[in-house]
């Protein structure tokens, strides 16, 4: 379990990126931080592995204040996946996946063998192992990034817009893959995105952030749609418009569901 208690981050230049955040991130579930650009999602995420230290408040992992944990050791125990994969361009795919085990002192042979298994796990062909990241497609690179994040079998996996830079088709594929993996592995995933559809698809808990790093609502997708905390949330999730403002209409005795623009979304099953 990860817990934020009254967490504020003000950068030296005066920017308040996160203000007074209290949230509980439950274990073995996916929590998605969603909000527009600059709302403090990355800052919040990075306070978990001490890439950023809060200026007030505490971040606790299983009851331990992370401020008391040595940052390098802390990070080696937490998976991290970022946009553009963040792979090391000068290391082969297999060595990229093995990065953290090697840092932790696992033998090279063992680390590489395990890395190959991880390529299977994330659905990559082992023939890619000896290539360099630049020789892979964007989607393949992201998968390698996920494999690297999983390499030390961490309890916590932090993902910062991991699918933000790939085309929509590949993104959909990677999202399904993540759902499948999560079903299998049950990690505590904290996932950052600015795409509300992605948030609703992946999140057990969705945290909606607004400018200034405040949390508007943290709840399940169902709860958010049923009871948006305020107008900002309702507007942000588009509850009153487009493809989420559905209503039922009858055509030739069939009950159809149509969106706000009158486009059919489906048939109401009886």
Ligand X SMILES: Nc1ncnc2c1ncn2[C@@H]1O[C@H](COP(=O)(O)OP(=O)(O)OP(=O)(O)O)[C@@H](O)[C@H]1O
- The binding site for ligand X (CB under 6 A) comprises 11, 13, 15, 17, 35, 37-43, 194
**Which residue, 42 or 140, is less far from Mg ion as judged by CB?**
42
Q: How far apart are CA 248 and CA 256, in angstroms?
A: 6
Among 30, 31, 42, 205, binds Mg ion (CB under 5 A): 42
Q: Judge whether 76 and 50 are in contact, CB under 8 Å.
A: no
Structure tokens that stand for 159 in this block = 């993902």
**Which residue, 30 or 42, is less far from Mg ion as judged by CB?**
42
CB neighbours of residue 14 within 10 Å? 6
Task: Rule CB under 8 A: say whether 136 interacts with other proteins.
Answer: yes
**Which residue, 37 or 270, is less far from ligand X as judged by CB?**
37
**Which residue, 53 or 110, is less far from ligand X as judged by CB?**
53
Cβ 133 to other proteins shortest distance, Å: 9
Task: Rule CB under 8 A: say whether 88 interacts with other proteins.
Answer: yes
CB neighbours of residue 51 within 10 Å? 15
**Which residue, 42 or 217, is less far from Mg ion as judged by CB?**
42
Task: Rule CB under 8 A: say whether 103 interacts with other proteins.
Answer: yes
Task: Rule CB under 8 A: say whether 143 interacts with other proteins.
Answer: no
Task: Rule CB under 8 A: say whether 90 interacts with other proteins.
Answer: yes
Residue 40 site contact among ligand X, Mg ion, other proteins, none (CB < 5 to 8 Å, cut-off depends on kind) = ligand X
Task: Rule CB under 8 A: say whether 75 interacts with other proteins.
Answer: yes
Task: Rule CB under 8 A: say whether 248 interacts with other proteins.
Answer: no
**Interface ranges with Mg ion (CB under 5 A):** 42
């Amino acid at each position: 379990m990860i817990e934020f208690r009254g967490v504020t981050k003000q950068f030296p230049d005066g920017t308040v990126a996160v203000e007074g955040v209290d949230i509980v991130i439950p274990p073995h579930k996916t929590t998605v931080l969603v909000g527009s650009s600059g709302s403090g999602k990355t800052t919040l995420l990075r306070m978990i592995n001490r890439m950023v230290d809060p200026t007030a408040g505490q971040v606790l992992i299983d009851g331990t204040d992370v401020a008391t944990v040595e940052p390098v050791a802390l990070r080696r125990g937490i998976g991290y996946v970022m946009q553009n994969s963040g792979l090391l361009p000068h290391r082969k795919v297999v060595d990229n996946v093995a990065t953290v085990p090697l840092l932790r002192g696992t033998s090279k042979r063992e680390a590489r063998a395990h890395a190959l298994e991880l390529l299977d796990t994330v659905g990559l062909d082992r023939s890619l192992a000896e290539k360099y990241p630049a020789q892979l497609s964007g989607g393949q690179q992201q998968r390698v990034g996920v494999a690297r994040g999983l390499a030390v079998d961490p309890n916590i996996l932090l993902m910062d817009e991991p699918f933000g830079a790939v085309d929509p088709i590949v993104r959909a594929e990677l999202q399904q893959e993540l759902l499948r993996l999560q079903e299998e592995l049950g990690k505590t995933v904290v996932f950052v995105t600015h795409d509300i559809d992605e948030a609703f698809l992946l999140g057990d808990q969705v945290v909606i952030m607004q400018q200034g790093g405040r949390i508007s609502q943290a709840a399940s997708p169902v709860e958010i749609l049923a009871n948006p905390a305020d107008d900002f949330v309702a507007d942000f999730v588009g509850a009153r418009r487009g493809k989420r403002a559905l209503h039922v209409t009858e055509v030739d005795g069939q009950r159809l569901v149509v969106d706000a623009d009158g486009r059919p979304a489906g048939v109401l099953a009886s």
